[in-house]
Structure 1
């Protein structure tokens, strides 16, 4: 009789994983937001539903304080099953709302007009209170690739019946500077400003960095694809290893899973050798599309938010450590650009 599968209880600590993704346009964007704050009536802060804690950027609270804030948990459809998201048997959304009181909290699925309508109704209510003769101006902010531009387009479509105004994409960094105002409502008149995603200067917790990379807040060149796929396997096993049952029996070995997937999907090089990097990218893409399980990666419990903030603050490195990490990241990016520019072309 085969022994019962036991998933890994913890993911190994990896010292070679970058903990920084704070780029030049992130800082420039945040500085510009600070300058504009006096002319903004409402801040819409987006966080990814799958990582409601990890996609929190404390710099927004520090830099953009003094304005009404609406927190929108985006990509709700990717983090829940048909019966709603549950963590430890409890419904997650009432707990997430409680975390952020007195700020108002809404949940968004851009494919569902109902969730977009609720957000539009809230912005209109806020604008009527402001009662500006020139229209209300609002700012949409968030970490990279949490769905700000997609939400802006959905609000514009719902509010004024017009098409896409902001470019969207599957990788972070599509929006690199604050754009022009986009009208999302005629009565009352509301203008919304799209902004570049802003990462934090340093992520003290390794698992937080892996979660953000897994949901696409970090470019796939920052962390090795097989490492990220291994972290996904770790989380799939904790959730339900049957998710990948069509490719492999339960396993804690990412190379075993990627090899099985490569063979099943035809991702093979000359001689039938499995293309592990390509298969890892395919696996990550399936997860991000909601085709490899829908579940929340962060802890969702009554005290989770306060515990998370405390743990993050206690783990904050010194200013010198931040500078060293930022310098390493700049060098890594420069090296990657140089190698890409000078690599031989294939005719």
Structure 2
């Protein structure tokens, strides 16, 4: 039963990830025409899914053009994972881009309240951009760079951080539109980020592949993109993604299981996701309200449920608990770790074992 349930969920996640709205079609055409005049491509990826958040559709567009891969939101992965990624990209540059590809790391801190570390990261990125193009090219015209990547990986936020750091306030162009929801940017837009040397970047909408092959590796990629918020939350089953995060914690043994257990209000983290979510329903007093929200920027309080009130675990309350669980993961409440396996290619075999453990499964 658990195996059948898993197969249904895998087919479901693949279908949900086939999210290719009309603006992506027109945006890809605009990118294709715009990139021909660009000196450099900044490919932004989510550091929590450094391989899953790549986009194979960029490869023919980039061709032999110089590229910098920006691994964003590195404040949400461990220092050891960062070191592994540096070694991987240094060891196999042709696997992850052409010979002129370089990588750099940036944090997810909003530009309006950049901390010292983030400012230093932005400065390093600008220097890397400057060194990627011969200095003589800056004398007559600005350097042109295209910022590309999957939805909600932080492209527009990165552009705004570059503007705040290197452009005088009175000369800065309008800010790039940002939002927590995937797919906020709908068209290719231009922004000046530096006057000396002059640098102009083009923000572009996040683009997915229109279809995915029927494979476990693509299903794992779908899990990673959904868990990190690169896919609109309305496109997937929140309980499924919560189960994937739980599998990462318990079976891959990454992250902080004690912190996750404390978040759910239990002494030991259960293997069954429904037990975890029911614990969240009890702890936070979640009712049959699909719009339930609990702030994550302060310590959670116990549910104020009267002793005579019967608390039921409806589909709505479980789904609300799953969304709360996912938001907690995205906020780094369960530790810092990569969802992609940095030691070997993604594979769902271990996930199948986890979900097929009798009473611990999804049946």
TM-score (structure 2 length as normaliser): 0.74
- The change in CA–CA distance for 1:110 and 1:16 in structure 2 (over 3 A counts) is closer
> Residue 186 in 1 paired to residue 181 in 2?
no
Residue 153 of structure 1 aligns to a residue in which SS? helix
Deviation of 1:264 (Å): 1.0
User: Which residue of the other structure, out of 97, 102, 105, is the alignment partner of 1:104?
Assistant: 102
Distance (Å, rounded) in 2 between the aligned partners of 1:264 and 1:64: 49
Aligned equivalent of 2:284: 265
Q: Would you say the 8 A contact 2:259–2:333 is kept in 1?
A: no
TM-score (structure 1 length as normaliser): 0.77
- The change in CA–CA distance for 1:27 and 1:85 in structure 2 (over 3 A counts) is farther
Q: Would you say the 8 A contact 1:136–1:189 is kept in 2?
A: yes
Distance (Å, rounded) in 2 between the aligned partners of 1:71 and 1:280: 32
Residue 71 of structure 2 aligns to a residue in which SS? strand
Deviation of 1:38 (Å): 2.1
Aligned equivalent of 1:292: 334
Counterparts of residues 117-132 of structure 1 (less than 5 Å): 117-127=123-133, 128-132=135-139
> Residue 195 in 1 paired to residue 204 in 2?
yes
Deviation of 1:131 (Å): 2.9
Aligned equivalent of 1:94: 87
> Residue 279 in 1 paired to residue 321 in 2?
yes
Q: Would you say the 8 A contact 1:51–1:298 is kept in 2?
A: yes
Distance (Å, rounded) in 2 between the aligned partners of 1:99 and 1:261: 43
Counterparts of residues 1-347 of structure 1 (less than 5 Å): 12-13=6-7, 14=9, 15-17=11-13, 18=15, 19-80=17-78, 84-86=79-81, 91-100=84-93, 102=99, 103-111=101-109, 112-127=118-133, 128-162=135-169, 165-179=175-189, 181-204=190-213, 205-237=218-250, 238=252, 239=254, 240-246=256-262, 247-248=265-266, 249-269=268-288, 271-274=310-313, 275-301=317-343, 304=344
* Unmatched segments (≥5 aa) in structure 1: 1-7, 312-347
Q: Would you say the 8 A contact 2:163–2:193 is kept in 1?
A: yes
- The change in CA–CA distance for 1:68 and 1:91 in structure 2 (over 3 A counts) is closer
**CA displacement 1:267-310 (0-9 Å, x = unmatched):** 23484224111111111111111122210111213xx5xx57xx
Deviation of 1:93 (Å): 2.6
Residue 58 of structure 1 aligns to a residue in which SS? coil
Distance (Å, rounded) in 1 between the aligned partners of 2:72 and 2:241: 22
Residue 52 of structure 2 aligns to a residue in which SS? coil
Q: Would you say the 8 A contact 1:41–1:130 is kept in 2?
A: no
Deviation of 1:132 (Å): 4.9
Equivalenced residues, count: 290
RMSD of equivalent CA atoms: 2.3
Deviation of 1:262 (Å): 1.6
Deviation of 1:207 (Å): 1.4
Distance (Å, rounded) in 2 between the aligned partners of 1:149 and 1:228: 25
**CA displacement 1:175-198 (0-9 Å, x = unmatched):** 01111x211111111111110001
Distance (Å, rounded) in 2 between the aligned partners of 1:256 and 1:202: 34
- The change in CA–CA distance for 1:94 and 1:28 in structure 2 (over 3 A counts) is same
- The change in CA–CA distance for 1:77 and 1:97 in structure 2 (over 3 A counts) is farther
Distance (Å, rounded) in 2 between the aligned partners of 1:197 and 1:273: 40
Distance (Å, rounded) in 1 between the aligned partners of 2:318 and 2:66: 47
